[in-house]
Amino acid sequence: MAPTTLNVDEKQLILHAWEKVLGHQEDFGAEALERMFIVFPPTKTYFPHFDLHHDSEQIRHHGKKVVNALGEAVQHLDSLSATLSQLSDLHAYNLRVDPVNFKLLSHCFQVVLAVHLGDEYTPQVHVAFDKFLAAVSAVLAEKYR
């Protein structure tokens, strides 16, 4: 699906919700990755070099990296392509993660948000993040071919 633009309200909702993520980037990132590895085992094939035990240093470090990158994207919702250009190159030419996995991690990240935000993860916030994560995923895959 081609990326759709976020409207003004959705951008506000994302920025506002992201305040709850600040300070917890490592925790949320690690939890999202862990959920993904447990719920969708084939995703582990991209991390044969990792210690995938619960709370491993590598998972925490990588989780923090991923969520910080999302944080960058949140600060530049109007220029995702430019903001994520290097990551886009990395995924296309180096990592070559099949794009189907972006959906799986996006889903798990949303589960983490739901777990920690509870009622505040309203349907409106939910759709805004679903669109945002889909847009980020599309940018990461845009140089694949």
Would you count residue 124 as binding another protein (CB under 8 A)?
Answer: yes
Would you count residue 31 as binding another protein (CB under 8 A)?
Answer: yes
The CA distance from 55 to 42, in Å, is 19
* Minimum distance, C-beta of residue 94 to another protein, in the bound complex (Å): 28
Q: 82, 90, 132, 93: which is closest to 109 by C-alpha? A: 132
Nearer to another protein, 57 or 120 (CB): 120
Q: Which of residues 77-116 bind another protein (CB under 8 A)?
A: 107, 110-111, 114-116
* Minimum distance, C-beta of residue 36 to another protein, in the bound complex (Å): 9
Q: Distances from the Cα of 11 to the Cαs of 31, 42, 129, 143, in angstroms?
A: 24, 33, 9, 25
Give CA torsion, residues 6, 71, 96, 110, to 10 deg: -70
Nearer to another protein, 19 or 119 (CB): 119
Q: 37, 36, 20: which is closest to 106 by C-alpha? A: 36
Q: Which of residues 39-68 bind another protein (CB under 8 A)?
A: 39-40
Q: Is 140:91 a contact under the CB 8 Å cutoff? A: yes
Would you count residue 34 as binding another protein (CB under 8 A)?
Answer: yes
Would you count residue 23 as binding another protein (CB under 8 A)?
Answer: no
Give the footprint of another protein on this chain (CB under 8 A). 31, 34-35, 38-40, 107, 110-111, 114-119, 121, 123-124, 126-127, 130
